[in-house]
């Protein structure tokens, strides 16, 4: 075996998932005999295709992008009426150009960072630093992914602050206004269950 073949085998072992022995051990652990049996138990047959995919064969990247643009051109943009906290947002051009459209946030990271998470964290750190400088405050927070996540993080933070010993919870209740968005309520309910938070819903104006 020459050096190139040796390096290729090492790369394959590191990057292309488990080998047959490891896969068999995992299947045994979860109680199935094969990958087909695992799929049968986890993916409903009603959404699985029994035949091969109908494709016209391989195409070049240029042809693929051309076909994709042709399909995308059939989309029609309508006014969004979903509401519930999901609204269009005006993003200042300077932010759009220098952050969201700046490839420097997501191209300079090492191969194991197969996403833009690191660049996003760096941009949030810069934002926090700027806010701290402008306000003169020692610390500053950065925006979370959405309102529901922010609400769940606030709930967890307050719960942990009040109950430093989870084996002896003294303040289990967390009050939530009854008029919050449905998706925010669902996230709170989901996140509250595993940490032992007791949610109490009501009108914040009349709550005692």
Specify the pLDDT at position 147: 87
Specify the pLDDT at position 112: 55
Specify the pLDDT at position 169: 86
Q: What are phi and psi of 141, to 5 degrees?
A: -90, 165
Specify the pLDDT at position 45: 86
Specify the pLDDT at position 116: 65
pTM for the full predicted model = 0.51
Specify the pLDDT at position 4: 64
Contact 198, 173 (CB under 8 A): yes
Closest C-alpha to 155, from 183, 192, 190, 184: 192
Specify the pLDDT at position 71: 95
Specify the pLDDT at position 189: 96
Contact 84, 183 (CB under 8 A): yes
Q: What is the rounded CA–CA span in Å between residue 149 and residue 56? A: 43
pLDDT along the chain (208 residues), means of 10: 68 77 92 92 88 86 94 88 81 84 70 64 83 90 79 92 87 94 95 93 90
Contact 105, 122 (CB under 8 A): yes
């Amino acid at each position: 075996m020459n050096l190139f073949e040796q390096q290729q085998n090492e790369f394959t072992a590191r990057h292309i998932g488990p080998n047959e022995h490891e896969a068999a051990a995992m299947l045994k652990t979860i109680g199935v005999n094969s990958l087909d049996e695992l799929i049968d138990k986890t993916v409903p047959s009603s959404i699985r295709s029994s035949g091969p995919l109908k494709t016209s064969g391989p195409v070049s990247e240029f042809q693929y992008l051309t076909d994709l643009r042709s399909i995308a051109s059939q989309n029609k943009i309508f006014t969004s009426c979903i509401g519930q906290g999901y609204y269009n947002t005006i993003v200042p051009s300077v932010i759009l150009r220098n952050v969201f459209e700046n490839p420097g946030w997501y191209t300079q990271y090492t191969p194991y960072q197969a996403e833009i998470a690191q660049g996003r964290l760096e941009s949030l750190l810069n934002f926090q630093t700027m806010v701290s400088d402008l306000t003169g405050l020692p610390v500053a927070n950065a925006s979370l992914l959405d309102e529901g996540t922010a609400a769940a993080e606030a709930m967890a933070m307050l719960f942990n602050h009040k109950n430093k010993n989870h084996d002896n919870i003294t303040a289990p209740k967390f009050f939530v206004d009854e008029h919050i968005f449905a998706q925010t309520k669902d996230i709170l309910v989901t996140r509250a269950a595993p940490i032992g938070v007791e949610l109490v819903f009501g009108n914040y104006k009349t709550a005692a």
